[in-house]
Chains A and B, each alone.
Chain A
Amino acid sequence: MSQNNAKLLLIDDDIELCELLVEYLATEGFTVSAVHDGEAGVTAALSGVHDLVLLDVTLPKLNGFDALKQIRHRSNIPVLMLTARGDDVDRIIGLEIGADDYLAKPYNHRELVARIKAILRRGRTPLIPEGTSRTLQIDDIALNLANREATISGEPLELTATEFLVLKTLIEKVGELISRDDLTQIALNRKLTLYDRAIDMHVSNVRKKVGTRPDGSARIKTVRGSGYFYILPS
């Protein structure tokens, strides 16, 4: 895909993390260059050689928000903010100033890659996805598989990459029971072990976010002890 070989700029003062990310994102097909302070970050971001900026909030010399402001003055290069979790204020400010997306620390690497890809695809929206239908539709939920965006009754639905995968898997096999093992394997990319309740938490979160059908009936059902399924619309 064309998005591979995309050039990313990583602005983060955590040098060790930068090294790791450069190596990891390289295995995902991205070329990453890293700078460690806000001023150098702004200069690099405005150099025009990068496709996307990963911007940390806490930075020496110039903090992430100010750096973003300066970048936005002269460029509309996609920016993914890396914020501290729990600070809703950070998130809101970031989005207001003009970040394309945000990701809270500590972030899951799969989540990070998914977001990067989503933003890069979004940047090329005129390009209608080739081949088969890239949208899953059920009831009033629509999942855009190309940019990993979900909408419910036309309203955007905020899902993490894992939650998106969970919902996608459930909708693809609507009406069929999906075991916890399978769901764990697909969404979390690992085997289900004893006392592993992570998948249940993710399903629970998805259920909370999608709510009930407009007529009040449940969308997702648990089968005691074995798994979940998305109830076929009547």
Chain B
Amino acid sequence: MRLKVQLKIPRLVVWPWHSVFWKIFLWFWLSMIAMLVTLFLAFAITVDPSDFLSERRALFRELEIAARKMELLSRTSVHLPIPRFPGSGYYLFDTEGNILGSASISEELVSAYNKTRSRSDPTITFRSGMVVVGPQKISLNDAPYELYLTKEMPVLVQWRVKQVIARQWHLIILALGMSFVLCVVLARYLVGPIGNLQRASRKLARGDLSARVGGKVARRRDELGELARDFDHMAEQVGSLVFSKERLLRDVSHELRSPLTRLQISLALARRKTPDADAEHSRIEREIERLDQLIGQIIHFSRIQQNMANMACEKVSLEGMLKKLVDDGDFEAQAGDKAVVFKETASIELEAVREFLSSAVENIIRNAIRFTPEGSEVEVSLFRENDTALIRIRDHGPGVPEEALEDLFEPFFRVDETRGKENDGTGLGMAIARTAVAQHNGSIVARNAQPGLEVSIRLPLRDGLSV
């Protein structure tokens, strides 16, 4: 439980600023704040202030205070003292209804006055854009008058906003805080599953076909849950497609073995029965051998292609491995008056699946031996380049047309479509090499070295394995 909390809090902090999480959060939060403000304003404008007892009292108080002040002042002055306050207008009427001291009088005031003049106590009347409070009976120099107070609506709103900010700021902070928390929860609720989806799709892209979103996300009933379920379904389909493709190749190869075995036995019987067709029999036998080799290569290829998760990684000394391969290659090459030499070497160790890596290099050396002319050498070198190990294999053969360099590593690719007699490989060697190198997160490239072909294998010394 504690661990969970510790994990979750930094997660919120590390969310990058341009992420959907912050977008959703900010949008919701902003709209929430905007809504609060709008609500407050709408409330302030539309709701009748007379509905609020305190408001009414405040208005009546203001009017009364103004009246008392005028009464006080009238004792010492001959002038009729009409008070002037910003935002408020005071109007004095005599008993006949004439306005005193002010030349202009608005229609709203007149209509409000006409409506209320007969009342004995002040009331609040609304006219467009204006609040009229009155009549307040006052006597100035012993003569009775009626005092009216007018306030403009907007002034009233502003005043209220100011009042709320001044007196109830803790409420605003509380509202902001609450909405912040709510928006974080909402954004997390919406964005969390996207993170799960992302992790699953990245895993899938890296070749882990067992990657699924699953769990809580897939059990959601909203669109995100649907998306998660669709993703899982897609992953399932992709997995079964890839699997069935690999299985087809493997099954075909396995299935071919039975007829091939029958062919071999038939051949042995034919040899007994017709000893004079020996040349043909030998030919058939060699072709059977070739088919056998090809099948073996296909099975080997599909084994390397499959995830290496269940292969044992070990520390491999590249130098030692290459030495052995060069040695073996040289031995085989000597039969054709060729040679394989180790030109440059470095002491490099890395984590790898020895069998796969060794078969990658072996296939390239074999290929080089095949194409290097008699009397020439295949050169193998190993050196360190920054954080990678670089293995270079170069022959002195005819090289490869520039446009074919990329395709060289495709299964069954042949440089010249007419099968030359020297072209006795299975066509899978280079593809096996590329797949095996890719499984070690490395890269393999070929270039023409004039004369000859130079194949470079780069292997990262850190994080060498995709498993």
Chain B neighbourhood of A200, CB < 8 A: 332, 335
A224 to chain B, nearest CB (A): 5
Interface residues of A in 4-34 (CB under 8 A from B): 14, 16-17, 20-21, 23-24, 27
Q: Does A191 contact B (CB under 8 A)?
A: yes
Instruction: Count chain A CB atoms within 10 A of each CB in B258, B267, B278, B332 and give the residue with the most.
Output: B258
Q: Does B300 contact A (CB under 8 A)?
A: yes
Q: Does A130 contact B (CB under 8 A)?
A: no
A186 to chain B, nearest CB (A): 14
Q: Does A61 contact B (CB under 8 A)?
A: no
A59 to chain B, nearest CB (A): 13
Q: Does A36 contact B (CB under 8 A)?
A: no
Chain A neighbourhood of B266, CB < 8 A: 20
Interface residues on chain A, size class:
35 or more
Cα distance A14–B260 in the bound complex, in angstroms: 12
Contact A207 B331 (CB under 8 A): yes
> Which of the segments A40-48, A62-70, A100-108 contacts the partner chain?
A100-108
B440 to chain A, nearest CB (A): 21
What per-residue 1/0 map shows which CB atoms of B316-343 lie under 8 Å from chain A? 0000000000001001101111000000
Q: Which single residue of chain A is at the shortest CB-CB distance from B281?
A: A190
Q: Does A208 contact B (CB under 8 A)?
A: yes
Interface residues of A in 192-225 (CB under 8 A from B): 193-198, 200-201, 204, 207-208, 220, 222-225
Interface residues of B in 261-319 (CB under 8 A from A): 261-262, 264-269, 272, 278-279, 281-283, 285-286, 288-289, 292, 295-296, 299-300, 303
Contact A207 B328 (CB under 8 A): yes
Contact B332 A109 (CB under 8 A): no
Cα distance A21–B295 in the bound complex, in angstroms: 22
Cα distance A135–B56 in the bound complex, in angstroms: 125
Other-chain residue from B268, B272, B332, B336 in contact with A204 (beta carbon distance below 8 A): B332
Q: Does B115 contact A (CB under 8 A)?
A: no
Interface of A is mostly: mixed
Q: Does A85 contact B (CB under 8 A)?
A: yes
Other-chain residue from A14, A180, A190 in contact with B262 (beta carbon distance below 8 A): A14
Q: Which single residue of chain A is at the shortest CB-CB distance from B271?
A: A189
A173 to chain B, nearest CB (A): 18
Contact B289 A198 (CB under 8 A): yes
Q: Which single residue of chain B is at the shortest CB-CB distance from A196?
A: B286
Chain A neighbourhood of B288, CB < 8 A: 106
Q: Which single residue of chain B is at the shortest CB-CB distance from A204?
A: B332
Q: Which single residue of chain A is at the shortest CB-CB distance from B273?
A: A27
Interface residues of B in 227-284 (CB under 8 A from A): 254, 257-258, 260-262, 264-269, 272, 278-279, 281-283
Chain B neighbourhood of A208, CB < 8 A: 328
Chain A neighbourhood of B107, CB < 8 A: none
Contact A105 B268 (CB under 8 A): no
Cα distance A98–B170 in the bound complex, in angstroms: 84
Q: Does B421 contact A (CB under 8 A)?
A: yes
Contact A225 to B286, CB < 8 A, known contacts A20-B262, A84-B257, A106-B261: no
B437 to chain A, nearest CB (A): 21
Cα distance A110–B268 in the bound complex, in angstroms: 9
A9 to chain B, nearest CB (A): 17
Q: Does B417 contact A (CB under 8 A)?
A: no
Interface residues of A in 165-183 (CB under 8 A from B): 180
Q: Does B387 contact A (CB under 8 A)?
A: no
Q: Does A86 contact B (CB under 8 A)?
A: yes
Q: Does B424 contact A (CB under 8 A)?
A: yes
Which B residues contact A (CB, under 8 angstroms)? 254, 257-258, 260-262, 264-269, 272, 278-279, 281-283, 285-286, 288-289, 292, 295-296, 299-300, 303, 328, 331-332, 334-337, 421-422, 424
The contact sample of 12 A-B pairs, CB cut-off 8 A, is A20-B265, A21-B265, A84-B257, A85-B257, A105-B258, A107-B261, A109-B265, A188-B285, A191-B282, A196-B286, A204-B332, A222-B331
Which A residues contact B (CB, under 8 angstroms)? 14, 16-17, 20-21, 23-24, 27, 84-86, 105-110, 180, 188, 190-191, 193-198, 200-201, 204, 207-208, 220, 222-225
7 smallest CB-CB distances across A and B, nearest first, come from: A222-B334, A190-B282, A106-B261, A106-B260, A20-B265, A109-B268, A86-B299
Q: A195-B421, A222-B335 are in contact. List 13 more A-B contacts (CB 8 A).
A: A14-B262, A24-B265, A106-B288, A107-B261, A108-B264, A109-B264, A190-B282, A191-B279, A191-B282, A193-B282, A207-B331, A208-B328, A224-B337
